[in-house]
Structure 1
């Protein structure tokens, strides 16, 4: 599956931080994680922390799928606002989903401290009303988030203008947010996990899975086998080959990174910025003082069409940044495009899939896939141990409505 193209900022800046071997022999293990991107790396980290023997298999070179296209904003907000999610799944479930994402940011901060060379910075976020008609949404969201205990402030138009420097009808300012680099975080996790006993193999395509009473046998394209008690599939959008139901709608998205600047703080607190419009524009500032922006999504998955639009989308995103910050000289130095998806309720799918025995899924779909991937890692780690998890039902496949 063609998941990204162009010149992703992380690959240009960091190259290939690590090399991993191909699987060239037969193996036995307790858990096999299929997928070595950010979801698979976080899942393997949870497993090794729990003392569970695991092997990670990736069909590509590690990190060169959706992980590489990530713009690495860490927010508790999901693609569906809290107030609308309450209407879909009820107040209790909606608040729990938002709380889990908020808590996962702190968890990821703790994990990153153990990973040398992985950037991680706590950052406030600003959720802007794109138009006056969106102001009631912002006000309702602020009220709902405060009611569940999130640290948020409601900014009016004057506050936005005075603090950030451009016009917007209003915004929600939140202290709970962060930024990282998903590509480096993935490699940092694998390095740590390997030291703890995990095995990681890339360029190793699993072509067949045979489940039996006590586990499963995986066969690779080169004919080697992995005998395992449990399987965790963390291949993101490529997991759809295993699932009959259409649980996710694929989209094409675009991102740019500007030139390096000597200006350390282009805007207030270098906060993460995103908007209410759909598709929304989002921006952040990298550790080397580049403005990174993304959005301009298209509602299709077609690599040829997606890639053909890259130049146009790059130009449009440049204009979006300049429109918000006309005083900042901005030119896109790198641009790329990738695939992402949305679900019916904005939530990921995590846990058992009835059609595949001994198999669990850790699928962090949506705009905040990294935080959901951490949530998934914690849930599936408990499940493979034969334990229940109190949040498993919130993300289960049973909620799908065809």
Structure 2
């Protein structure tokens, strides 16, 4: 699947920081992770740190799928608000999902510290009411988050005007958020994993899987075979070749980045910003003073249609930022588009799938895919080791049956 096009900012800025070999011989391994993007890298990180032999294989050059197109916001907020998720799956499950996402931000921070890379910045997150009619829903959402112990504040229209210069009627400020660079983080994780004994191969397409009683054989397009006891599928939206297509609705999203600014913060504490309207606009800053904005999503039909809309969507996003912060003189320098997906309840799919023995999935669908990927890494690592993981039920392929 063609997952992105245009000029993703992180890819343009950082290029190809490391090279990885193509598989050229038959090998054996305990666990094979298919997919070397951020989901696969985090999963492999958890596996090697648990002492498991691990091999990663990707059909592309590392990071050139959805990962390089990520705008790299780290938020616990799921695309389905807590109050709505409670209606869908019950209070216990909804609060547990939000708690896991909040905890994953801290886990990612600890991981990055161990990597000794400057790839994690704590931020506030502002969820803005786009219209007055959104206020009752947003206040109810604030109260639900506060009640479950999340660190949130209610910002009135006056507070928003004073602190941000915005005219929105209200907002939830969340203290638990951060940002990273998903592309560089992925490479940093792989380098750590390789030092721990993992093997990472790119340009290695797994074209067929033969299952056996005690494992599987992965046949690659070049001929070499990977014999493995366990498989982890971490190929994101390309995993639909293995599972029912109806589990996720694919969409096209668009993003732009400005040139760098020489002055101080663009707005109050350079918070992460997003809105209640659908599709929502989101904004963040970068360490070198740029502003990244994204949104203007469309249903995904094919890459050609998605790409054809890039210039129009980029101009619209530019105007979106200019309208909210006219004093910044915002002008886009880079624009790109990518493919992502939403599930019925906004949650990812993690764990076993009955039609594929010895196989686990780490599919971080949704707008906060990196935090989902962190959760997936922890869940899958436990399952591969044969440990019980009650949280796997939340993300099961069977959760909508009956």
Query: Which bin holds the TM-score, normalised by the shorter protein?
Result: over 0.9
Q: Tell me, what secondary structure is at the counterpart of 2:187?
A: helix
Does 2:99 correspond to 1:99?
yes
Q: CA deviation at 1:118?
A: 4.2
| Aligned twin of 1:254 | 254
CA contact (8 A) 1:120 1:180 kept: yes
Could you tell me how far apart the structure 1 residues matched to 2:8 and 2:152 are? 32
Q: Tell me, what secondary structure is at the counterpart of 1:78?
A: coil
Q: Tell me, what secondary structure is at the counterpart of 1:138?
A: helix
| Aligned twin of 2:271 | 271
Q: CA deviation at 1:371?
A: 0.1
Does 2:360 correspond to 1:360?
yes
Of 236-245 and 180-189, the range deviating more from structure 2: 236-245
Q: CA deviation at 1:299?
A: 1.4
Which structure 1 residue ranges, 4+ long, deviate > 6 Å from structure 2? Answer: none
Given the superposition, is the C-alpha separation of residues 246 and 176 from structure 1 closer, same or farther in structure 2, using an over 3 Å criterion?
Answer: same
Q: Tell me, what secondary structure is at the counterpart of 1:398?
A: coil
| Aligned twin of 1:293 | 293
Q: CA deviation at 1:395?
A: 0.3
Could you tell me how far apart the structure 2 residues matched to 1:117 and 1:152 are? 29
Could you tell me how far apart the structure 2 residues matched to 1:211 and 1:312 are? 47
Q: CA deviation at 1:107?
A: 0.4
Given the superposition, is the C-alpha separation of residues 119 and 264 from structure 1 closer, same or farther in structure 2, using an over 3 Å criterion?
Answer: farther
Does 2:135 correspond to 1:135?
yes
Could you tell me how far apart the structure 2 residues matched to 1:363 and 1:108 are? 17
Does 2:16 correspond to 1:8?
no
Could you tell me how far apart the structure 1 residues matched to 2:294 and 2:245 are? 29
Q: Tell me, what secondary structure is at the counterpart of 1:98?
A: helix
Could you tell me how far apart the structure 2 residues matched to 1:110 and 1:40 are? 18
| Aligned twin of 2:175 | 175
> Where in structure 2 are the equivalents of 1:296-335 lying within 5 Å?
296-335=296-335
Could you tell me how far apart the structure 2 residues matched to 1:216 and 1:36 are? 19
Cα offsets for 1:66-116 (capped at 9, x unmatched):
001100000000100000000000000000000000000000001011224
The alignment covers a number of residue pairs equal to 402
Name stretches of at least 5 consecutive residues in structure 2 with no aligned partner.
none
TM-score normalised by structure 2 residue count: 0.99
CA contact (8 A) 2:123 2:179 kept: yes
Q: Tell me, what secondary structure is at the counterpart of 2:171?
A: strand
Of 95-104 and 298-307, the range deviating more from structure 2: 298-307
| Aligned twin of 1:49 | 49
Calculate the aligned-residue CA RMSD, in Å: 0.9
CA contact (8 A) 2:255 2:292 kept: yes
Q: CA deviation at 1:245?
A: 4.8
Does 2:88 correspond to 1:88?
yes
Q: CA deviation at 1:263?
A: 1.7
| Aligned twin of 2:201 | 201
Does 2:61 correspond to 1:61?
yes
CA contact (8 A) 1:364 1:370 kept: yes
Could you tell me how far apart the structure 1 residues matched to 2:401 and 2:296 are? 28
Could you tell me how far apart the structure 2 residues matched to 1:300 and 1:400 are? 24
Q: CA deviation at 1:264?
A: 2.5
Could you tell me how far apart the structure 2 residues matched to 1:245 and 1:326 are? 42
Q: Tell me, what secondary structure is at the counterpart of 1:126?
A: strand
Could you tell me how far apart the structure 2 residues matched to 1:68 and 1:5 are? 10
Could you tell me how far apart the structure 2 residues matched to 1:63 and 1:36 are? 7
| Aligned twin of 2:144 | 144
CA contact (8 A) 1:118 1:181 kept: no
| Aligned twin of 2:40 | 40
| Aligned twin of 1:386 | 386
CA contact (8 A) 2:300 2:339 kept: no
Could you tell me how far apart the structure 1 residues matched to 2:324 and 2:344 are? 31
CA contact (8 A) 1:301 1:339 kept: no
Given the superposition, is the C-alpha separation of residues 4 and 401 from structure 1 closer, same or farther in structure 2, using an over 3 Å criterion?
Answer: farther
Could you tell me how far apart the structure 2 residues matched to 1:114 and 1:316 are? 40
CA contact (8 A) 1:115 1:192 kept: yes
Q: CA deviation at 1:181?
A: 0.3
| Aligned twin of 1:114 | 114
Q: Tell me, what secondary structure is at the counterpart of 2:376?
A: helix
